[in-house]
Structure 1
Amino acid sequence: MIGQFSEDTVRVFAAELGCALGFLHDFGVIHRDVKMENILLTDNGHLRLADFGLSRRLERGGRAFTICGTIQYMAPEVLSGGPYNHAADWWSLGILLFSLTTGKFPVPPEPDHCSMLRKVRSFPYEIPLSFSSQLSLLLSELLCKTPSRRLRSLDRFKRQTFFHQSTFDLELMQRRPVEVILELRERPDRAAKARRGLTLSLQPLKGFDYDSLLSPPPTPDPQLDMSTPSGTLAPPLPGPPRQLPQENRARREVFV
């Protein structure tokens, strides 16, 4: 179904993103904006975590207070203005995995932090009955509202039953393509759904002049005489060249 993935596919995505977060946290970096829009795909469908514009150095035991990120992915301690630490990234990963599996967010986004915080704190985060017990357990530990009790380390992440008989060896994972992504790439409507604006590569209408749409309109030349044939310059007006007043010349020399 479009908009959601099977648990087998989510398992691969979760393992790769968990490794990415573990790598960053070991180097004292908190991402603070883990979300779908910041996940890139390789040709074989594997994930790359991108956009470190909100990231910052935060050593183990450090605390941050800046309210930043994307509101529907933000942990409750981030929404409240801190203090928070690397555990906030694992909460965002839980929201992401929930969304990949269901096709929707566990809590609809609110327009401001205060109302979103109230909803997050009061929401029970009920796991759909369609989820396996292993995935339900993983999400319940990632979406724990108390940061100190939340799953917040790669070692604990790897020990989850959801990853039983799965590998966290990135080299081995990269060798096997993610089949569902390759299938989606071959869909006939992929180009129309993925494009942003009109592109020449699609060419859905034969003989249509795309250049007239993609090229900016020409800037009218004031020296062109509209009564003359197209492209012919009108003769210059008689008389001496116009001189700027002394005051304007001085002002022009200052700002040019």
Structure 2
Amino acid sequence: MHSHSIVFRDLKPSNVGFDLNGEVKIFDFGLAKIFQPGTSVKEYCGSPRYMAPEVFQQQQYEHPVDIYSFGILLWEICSMKKPFGNTSLKSLRRKIIEGIRPKLLSNWNISLRNLIKTCWDVNP
């Protein structure tokens, strides 16, 4: 997707599934955007629980917002919990902007924990 200059902008569990061959597929490209090299946007869009800090802050962003969302999605798959629990939008926004992330469990493989942390990095 990113190699074709597409930023998905709404990666979340309900937009990911499997085809008949068992391959992972992404659905619902309604918020996806084609970026020309060297361009970025500031548009506030996506599902708040999975949105990168720069989207919440309406700062310029590009494809790394999808990498952040993938890290949140991966955490959810591994923990079998909703990231950030039941929290208000205001509280969720504050946590994400302040760099508060869901807890990585110590019994997870170190490579998995490092992958998720890398996805959440400011410069993945």
Q: Distance in 2 between matches of 1:115 and 1:80?
A: 14
Give a deviation string over 1:169-193, Cα, whole Å, max 9, x none. xxxxxxxxxxxxxxxxxxxxxxxxx
Residue aligning to 2:93: 117
Give a deviation string over 1:2-55, Cα, whole Å, max 9, x none. xxxxxxxxxxxxxxxxxxxxxx11111110011110112223432111101001
Of structures 1 and 2, the larger Rg is shown by 1
Give the ranges of 4+ consecutive aligned residues of structure 1 lying more than 4 Å apart after TM superposition: none
Q: Distance in 2 between matches of 1:60 and 1:105?
A: 34
Structure 1, unmatched stretches of 5+, are 1-23, 151-256
Matched, 1:130 2:104: no
Q: Distance in 2 between matches of 1:93 and 1:72?
A: 12
Residue aligning to 2:46: 69
CA offset at residue 84 of structure 1?
1.1
- What letter corresponds to residue 52 of structure 1 in structure 2? F
Q: Distance in 2 between matches of 1:104 and 1:59?
A: 36
Change (3 A) 1:106 1:40: closer
Alignment of 1:25-174 (within 5 A): 25-108=2-85, 110-112=87-89, 114-120=90-96, 121-144=98-121, 146=122, 149-150=123-124
Structure 2, unmatched stretches of 5+, are none
Q: Distance in 2 between matches of 1:124 and 1:97?
A: 13
Which structure carries more strand by proportion?
Answer: 2
CA offset at residue 124 of structure 1?
4.7
Would the aligned equivalents of 1:107 and 1:123 in 2 still touch at CA under 8 Å? no
**Higher RCO structure (Cα 8 Å, ≥6 apart):** 2
Aligned length: 123
CA offset at residue 109 of structure 1?
5.6
- What letter corresponds to residue 139 of structure 1 in structure 2? I
Would the aligned equivalents of 1:40 and 1:47 in 2 still touch at CA under 8 Å? yes
* RMSD between superposed Cα atoms in Å: 1.7
CA offset at residue 62 of structure 1?
1.6
CA offset at residue 63 of structure 1?
1.2
Identity %: 28
- After TM superposition, the score normalised by the length of structure 2 is 0.88
